[in-house]
Homo-oligomer: A and B are copies of this chain.
Amino acid sequence: MNDAPPLLPLLYDDVVRRALVEDLGRAGDVTTDAVVPPDRTARALVVTRAAGRIAGLEPALFAFRLLDPGCRLEVCLRDGSDAEAGAVVARVEATARALLAGERTALNLLGHLSGIATATRDVVARLRGLETHVVDTRKTTPGLRALEKHAVRAGGGSSHRYGLDDAVLIKDNHVVLAGGIAEAVRRVRGRVGHMVKVEVEVETLEQLDEALGAGADAVLLDNMDLPTLREAARRARGRAVTEASGGIRPENVRGVAETGVDLVSLGWLTHSAPALDVALDVTDRS
């Protein structure tokens, strides 16, 4: 289980607020407003309808806090926990209005992020016994990058760079525009600070040698076949971190990892993992 502290609310409060506003629109929850007395309170359970790995529970519950600052929230399964189908993830006590108006926003967040965590967990499980780590990418859903990378970590994966600014990744186009890998690395080293790592994307073993010669901290081995990957991992060992990337899915991930690369990265984790089925059961409506 992931024992890191939960995300600071400052990192996600605007996301949750925007999601609520998106759902409430101009007139708010007209159904509930018409049907439910304003001061009625209720209790509810956040539950899973399928087995999976939990992620995003704190941001999900934050929806209820924004609607009812006096609500009571109890976390039963923290991010990074595994849940059976039917497990109770959290307990909520709030005004009935807040419960019903916040339900969909909370579940959309929790289901989406737990889906990513679950998919990551399953990929990680396929690598049991190997030392290869599972890494995310920048192929995330617009507006949700920090939360989705958090979900990958909750699933046992590890984070690649967060954006274009916190690490260097020299790709094909950069190499062409710079006139070679060595020149691209040289320009980058002359500009970025001492705390920034440099990774180079390579497609052939020749490019790999050039990147290693230029002192890359890491190399992204793009769409190589397994024998080439194996040779690349061998050559780079002790000189640079190796990351296999391109077309990796749960089905083929173990084969890739067995080549000896340090990392496998999967955009699939964040752009295509299905949501986990979660629900809100109102238990006390009296």
Contact = CB atoms under 8 A, between A and B. Distances in A.
A190 B19 CA distance: 29
B36 A164 contact: no
Contact of A164 (B28, B274, B282): B28
A19 B142 contact: yes
Contacts of A146: 22, 26-28
Interface string A143-168: 11110010001000011111111111
B275 A274 contact: no
Dominant secondary structure of chain A at its interface with chain B: mixed
A7 interface: yes
Nearest to A267: B275
A27 B162 contact: yes
Given A25-B162, A165-B25, A173-B285, A66 B30 contact: no
B115 A170 contact: no
Task: List 4 A-B pairs, minimum CB-CB distance, nearest first.
Answer: A5-B38, A272-B274, A19-B142, A25-B165
